[in-house]
Every structure is written in C-alpha cells, then in structure tokens.
Structure 1
Amino acid sequence: MDLAKASPAEVRSLIRAGELDKPTSGMCAPYAQANMAVLPKELAFDFLLFTQRNKVPCPVLDVTEAGSPVPKLVAPKADLRHDIPRYRIYRHGELTDEVTDAAPFWRDDLVAFLLGCSFSFEGPMIEAGLEIRHITDNHNVPMYKTNIECVPAGVFHGPMVVSMRPMKPADAIRAVQITTRMPFVHGAPIHIGDPEAIGISDIDKPDFGERSDIKPGEVPVFWACGVTPQAVAMAVKPEFMITHAPGYMFITDVLNSQLSIM
C-alpha cells in the first residue's frame, strides 16, 4: 500500500492491527495530522485555557467528552486508544511507558485534546517543489525545546517546542508563504536562522526526533510544535497524562485544504 495515497481509515486500520509502527510524516498526504494530549478532567479547563493563550504551538482541532476516546469532529469512527502508532505515558511529569496501544491506561475521567500538526503542511510544501529533509532521508523530524516561554494558564506553563526543516533561503521564503495560510497547523515559522537566538545550543542534538543534515547554503527554519504539551507536562508534572510519541501522529479525516485560509 502506498501510505502517502492511502485513506486515513486504511492507515488507522493498519495501526490498530499492530501492522504499522513508524513516524507518520508523509502518510495520507491530503489529510491533516494531529498531536494528542490526554489529561484528567480536573485539569482539562486549565489546559483548554492554555491552548487558547498559546494557539500557535497548540491549535485545537478537537476535544473529546470525558472518558470518550472518539474524536467526533475530526474522525468520528476512530478510537484514540488504538489509532496512533505510539503513545507516551507520563506520571507526575516523568515518562514511564512508551506503548503501541493506550487502552490499558485509559480512564473514565480522561479528556483528549487533538492539536494541529506541522506534518499537515508538508504536503502543500512538497507540491510546491520544496524538499522536506526528514522525508527525503526517511527519519523523524528534529524537535527542540526553546527559551520561548508559553503564556501560563492555570497550572500549565513551560517552554515552546519547535520542529526544524533546513532550507535554502529562497525556499524558506516560499515556505513562509505556504504555511502562513495554515494557522490551524501552526502557521508560519516562528524563527529562521541562528538556533542559539531561541535557546538551542546544539542543532545536532534535538530533544525529540532525529537530527537532519543542514547542507551548505541552507538555513534552519523553525515552526512551533505540538510536542509543546509534553514539555509542559515535564514542567508541571500532572498526576497522569497520555500523549502521542513525537512524530507518531493521529491522522484525521479532515482535509488540509479545509484548514487553509485561501
């Protein structure tokens, strides 16, 4: 099966059957992918407020009913306990498990948030003739914690996480034009150039994902990233939290074109 051309339902079926365990970049190219953060109901309002105050790293696509694993707005036949290739389980801010099925950890008081993902704008960039290095080299996108603090809300606070794609300067300008039209999946880059200006001391050592080669004449281009809630979890140390593993996203039934501003 050509995963780039497969339907979201087909890919989710492979994931649920345990037949697909890899980063989802490039899969179901026309469709939006989503980050996931799952928290106890008692923390859900604070987190919703956090997303509203930090819409660039945390653009909300859907929020489930308490206890329900079904994202009714973006994929009403999906099940968030099974349909993501890898999950991370946090207890008191510490990563305790990375699993391929979250059902054993699901509780009746959990609320799931699905947040827009930068993988969604990679398809339009490829269509425009831009290279996406981590797709070319078949590895996970590099992601970094920054010194950019998110706007606090309730108990939630912490640094913004960014994803990075190296590009020639002219391609970076085109990438800005393309992604500016897609605010529901992070929108335009938040920084281009010197990594140290946003607190990244070693571009070759990402906090999440895998390094990308930056070739002569290229500049690093940084977008806000939906892994930000995981960095926040480490800072806030909630009693319990489930997230996607970085790069292993939930694929929705929503077309990227529906999230674009024309």
Structure 2
Amino acid sequence: MRYEDLIGRDLKDVRAAIRNGAYRGHTAGLAPGRLQANLVILPEAHALDFLRFCLRNPKPCPIVGVGDTGDPRMPTLGDIDLRTDLPSYRIHRDGVPAGDAPDICDLWSDDLVGVALGCSFTFEHALIAAGIDLWHVTHDRTVPMFRSTRPTVPAGPFAGPMVVSLRMIPEDRAREAAAISARYPQAHGAPVHTGDPAALGIADAGAPDWGDPVPLPAGHVPMFWACGVTPQAALAGAKLPFAITHTPGHMLICDMAEDADAPPVAPGRIPDQQGVMP
C-alpha cells in the first residue's frame, strides 16, 4: 500500500494497514488528530534508568505511555500491539543499529518494557491545518534529523547529544509556527532553535543524520525542534546488549487525541535560542 492510499484515511484503516504488513512507510501526515509516538523497547533491568533519562530530558523525551513488563499491549494509548503496530522497527545490539524489521513478534520476550514518547508529527497536523506547508509531508519524505552539540542530562548509562528535527518555514510564518507547536508539550513543544544551524553544531543542513534532506529555499528560516530520536543516540552510548526502537519517521499512532492542553501562545512571539518564550 502506498502513502497516498492512506492520506485522509481514519485511524482504523491506517492501523490495519500497518498491523497486517500492507504499509511500511513513514507516518508523517497520517491519521490527523491522533497522537503519534516514538517507541523504545528495552529489558526491564535498564528501564528505570531510561525513564530517569526521559524525566531529566522532557523536551526531547516526553513520556506519553509505559507498558508493563512482558506485556506488548499499551492500553493507556489504545488498542495497541507493540509487536506489530509500527511500520518499521529498528533493532539495536550493543548500542549499534543491527537492521530494521517489519514486526518484532519473534523478538518479544517476557522481560521487555515499552516506553512511548511524544513525536513532532503530532503538531505538524496543526501547522498544515494553519496553511504552513511542510515539504517532507507534501513530497512523501522523512523529516531530516541531526545530532546537535547540545548535551542531554545523563541517567545511569544513558547520555548523549540532543537530536533535533528540521523544518524550513516561510519567514513570515515562523512566529506563528513556533506559537502553534508550543501548544503541544507532549510533542516537543516550541522549537529549541531558530536560525543558523551552526549554533547547534550542524555543519551542513542538507546532510541529515537520519531522514531525508529538504530544500533550503530563500525566504525560509530553518527551525529546529527537539526530536524523539534522541534516545537512539543515548542507546548508542549505553551499549545495551539489546533494544528495539521505531525506525526514524515510522511512528506508533495512538488512539488518543493530540495533546493541545497547554494554553495557546500569543501570536507574534517566538522562542529564543534556548527554546524559551520571552
């Protein structure tokens, strides 16, 4: 099944296509109105340290769900089966990506714990609804993601750089885009940086570490949001013998509605270089 076949379809159809293996692509723009989540699955012996890492780094790692040990369901997020409900899973061995898999039924074990983290794809729906074009969605690509030089707060073996995602936004819509995304704290909230990529240690904004490059047109400003791929960078440093994550761009789509509980930010305000509203 192609991406175009699922645009505009409801959650039931999208989840069925993913669960039965008919669709294996990225999830940006799919099932609008539903919370999308990054996923980390790891042995219980490391879960507490990982949850500490997320709590200490809520901007890139906003926790939206935690499963029970050995249980592949996540009922707080809906009719979820963590073994089948992502389009693509990434397997990590000794901290190194060891390939992607269409499902993890044969890898699931009784000591595994699933942790779901908010995803910026959630606020993208609001940006699109406001008429702000997102090139990667329009052109069926995965959002570009970069390792930044901003450190995370360590917890146990987990540490590493914050990963950020890039969207090129028309200059006259940048403040509005920041204000809209700020309403979604469970989806990384406001940008962490707007402007020169070099301030984040990114030498070439056209060469992402994950995802696909996007055009950098004149009249647009680069805006960077904290990204839920940050735990994958932390897994590399922790060198766990075994862990599973989503393949970047291939998210868990939940039953619950997108979180817009935070009060809206007044138009005309934009985060500073640290992502703080003035």
TM-score, normalized by the shorter chain, greater than 0.5: yes
Q: Deviation digits for residues 88-134 of structure 1, max 9, x if unmatched?
A: 00011111121101111111100000000000001111111111111
Where do 1:164-243 residues align within 5 Å?
164-243=166-245
Q: Given that residues 165 and 220 in structure 1 are in contact (C-alpha distance below 8 angstroms), is that contact kept between their aligned partners in structure 2?
A: yes
Deviation at 1:6, TM superposition (A): 2.5
Secondary structure, counterpart of 1:43 in structure 2:
helix
Q: Equivalent residue for 1:52?
A: 55
Within the candidate set 10, 13, 17, 2:13 is matched to 10
- The residue that corresponds to 1:25 in the other structure is 28
The residue number in structure 1 matching 2:261 is: 260
- Say if 2:39 is the partner of 1:36: yes
Structure 1 length-normalised TM: 0.96
Q: Choose which of 148, 155, 158 in structure 2 pairs with 1:156.
A: 158
Do 1:4 and 1:29's aligned partners in 2 also have CA atoms closer than 8 Å? no
> CA separation in 1, counterparts of 2:154 and 2:12?
36
Question: CA shift at 1:202, angstroms?
Answer: 1.0
Amino acid at match of 2:184: M
- What SS does the aligned partner of 2:28 have? coil
Instruction: Report the count of equivalent residues.
Output: 260
Q: What is the CA deviation profile of residues 57-84 of structure 1, one whole-angstrom value per residue up to 9, with x for unaligned ones? A: 0000100000111111111x22010010
- 1:61 is matched with 64
Cα 1:259–1:43 shift into 2, 3 Å: farther
Note if contact 1:120-1:185 (Cα within 8 Å) is conserved in structure 2.
yes
Question: Deviation at 1:169?
Answer: 1.9
Moved over 3 A (4+): none
Hey, what does 1:248 align to over in structure 2?
Answer: 250
- State the Cα distance separating 1:2 from its structure 2 match: 5.5
Query: Greater CA deviation, 229-238 or 114-123?
Result: 229-238
Matched residue SS, 1:47: helix
Q: Give the deviation of 1:239 after TM superposition.
A: 1.3
The unaligned stretches of length 5 or more in structure 2 are 264-278
1:123 to 118, 122, 125: 125
SS of 1:248's partner is coil
Distance 2:253 2:12 in 1: 9
User: Match of 1:72?
Assistant: 75
Partner of 2:87: 85
Distance 1:180 1:2 in 2: 31
TM-score (norm 2): 0.91
% same residue: 43
- Give the distance between the partners of 2:22 and 2:128, measured in 1 at CA: 27
1:176 is aligned with what amino acid? A
- What SS does structure 1 have at the residue aligned with 2:97? strand
Q: Distance in 1 between matches of 2:39 and 2:89?
A: 9
* Correspondence for 2:135 among 133, 136, 141: 133
Work out the CA distance in 2 between the residues paired with 1:179 and 1:170: 16
The AA in structure 2 aligned to 1:23 is H
3-state secondary structure, aligned to 1:9: helix
Asked whether the equivalents of residues 157 and 237 of structure 2 are also in contact (C-alpha less than 8 Å), the reply is no
**Which letter maps to 1:21?**
R
Instruction: Give the secondary-structure state (helix, strand or coil) at the position aligned to 1:105.
Output: coil
Give 1:233's aligned amino acid: L
Deviation at 1:217, TM superposition (A): 1.6
SS in 1 for 2:215: coil
CA distance in 1 between partners of 2:242 and 2:183 (Å): 35
Name the SS of the counterpart of 1:139 in structure 2. coil
Distance between the aligned counterparts of 2:253 and 2:41, measured in 1?
16
2:9 and 2:261 map into 1 onto residues whose CA distance is 21
